Amino acid sequence: MKLPAQPSVPSIHDTHCDGPGLEHSTIPWPRYRSFYYRWLAEDGTKDVPLPPRVDLRGKTVLISGANSGIGKEAAYICALWGAHVIIACRDPPPHEDHPEQVIDEFVARSHGIITNQLVEWWKVDFADLASVKALGDRFISSGRTLDLLFNNAGLNMKKFVQTMDGFELVNQVNYLAHVLLTYTLLPAMKNAKAPRIINTSSSFHYGGTLDFANFNAEKEVKLKKGDEQAVVAEMGEWYCDSKLKLAMWNKELQSRMSRSAEYRHVITHAIHPGYVASNVWRSGWLKQVPGPIQFLLNIGLKYLAIDSKQGSLAMLYAALLPERGIESLTAPAAAPPKEDVPERFTEQVGGRFYLRTQEHPTRPEIEDRTARARLWNRTNEDIKAAKYGLDFILPGPLPGLK
């Protein structure tokens, strides 16, 4: 009996196809598993120690969203251990600490070990892609080498807000802006000894939906004239989607860097910091949910969540443990020439997803080479990578993809 033909897999250049366009070999992700991992896939150990101290003197670290939460705590440890730290964030709202106050706090907490010259605030607005590109260009123009990049800024929204660039706000701040910043900064990582990129994803990526026809909430957005707040998403819907995209892109980024003579020594990881009582919960998003849900979330934040210091350890473990890179940042031996790093070797080391301090399995989409390549192409379209000359920094898709 002749079996019915399977539907064709959309091309990686069909960047607006309906659904994820997965390869036939990719097993669909059951919804019940999404629910389980979304809420329960947590490392329940609250008291995790700091990673072994690393001498970061002479290293440069850039952390987005480092004026509060886990980014702030990671910035403090990096500066305490000697790194020159750039806090990249906007002029914050009242519920967040101002970067200048954060720097003063670092100096006081460290009893003078951290100086005002060791930590800088570079202003950037992730809701404005031109501002993100300008930040990256400023760093490149400075001639500095970038050793660690933490793509950490993020927010959650329940109502639809459109940015000046025309994208849904959560999608742009949590995902698109990080991609643009990384592409712009990559040339500054060429000559770093053991550079790493750490992307703050989330276990909420397990509850995300990949639909290229709804990549920017196109199916959901039915705005009333002059009303950009007309569409209300389910709790965390756009947040989950953005974190799934970031985890997928993290894997594809490592795959392409591993095939690049200039960047095959760069390691990238995605992390979930844990259930952290940080400002991402206390932002305007929490005020948009019904009162009973607000009450339950506040109870959870008080009794179940870890603090930002513990949450920051996921970032530090991924960035500093020698076994999570090709070598330690401060290994005594000279770094091997990039051409001596075996091709594709770093793809085996990097591109991982860590739930707090332990590696954790990911969604099937993250292993789907076709969907990842299509995501790469769609993202490049949205951030106008070709306009900025950023689309040829890394190799193209794997050979043989449709």
Give catalytic residue positions.
Answer: 239
Tokens of 318: 């991924």
The dihedral sign for the CA sequence 164, 168, 174, 180:
negative
Question: % helix / strand / coil in the chain, to the nearest 5?
Answer: 40, 10, 50
The alpha carbon of 3 is separated from its chain's Cα centroid by a whole number of angstroms, namely 42
Question: What residues form DSSP beta bridges with 62?
Answer: 86, 149
- Cα 41 from Cα 273, distance rounded (Å): 12
Q: How far lies 324's CA from each of 247, 278, 318, 365, in Å? A: 17, 26, 6, 23
Tokens of 330: 């401060």
Contacts of 244 (CB under 8 A, 6+ apart): 205, 208, 209, 210, 363, 365
- Residue 347 sits at φ, ψ, to 5 deg, of -65, -25
- Residue 368 sits at φ, ψ, to 5 deg, of -85, 110
Per-residue b or e along 215-234, where b marks 16 or more CB atoms closer than 10 Å to that residue's CB? bbbeeeeeeeeeeeeebebe
User: Helix (H, G, I), strand (E, B), or coil: what is residue 186?
Assistant: helix
Tokens of 396: 């193209």
DSSP characters over 291-340? HHHHHHHHHHHHHTPBPHHHHHHHHHHHHH-GGGSSS-TT-SSPPPPGGG
The dihedral sign for the CA sequence 357, 359, 365, 371:
positive
- Residue 336 sits at φ, ψ, to 5 deg, of -65, 145
DSSP characters over 58-92? T-EEEEETTTSHHHHHHHHHHHHTT-EEEEEE-S-
- Cα 39 from Cα 398, distance rounded (Å): 34
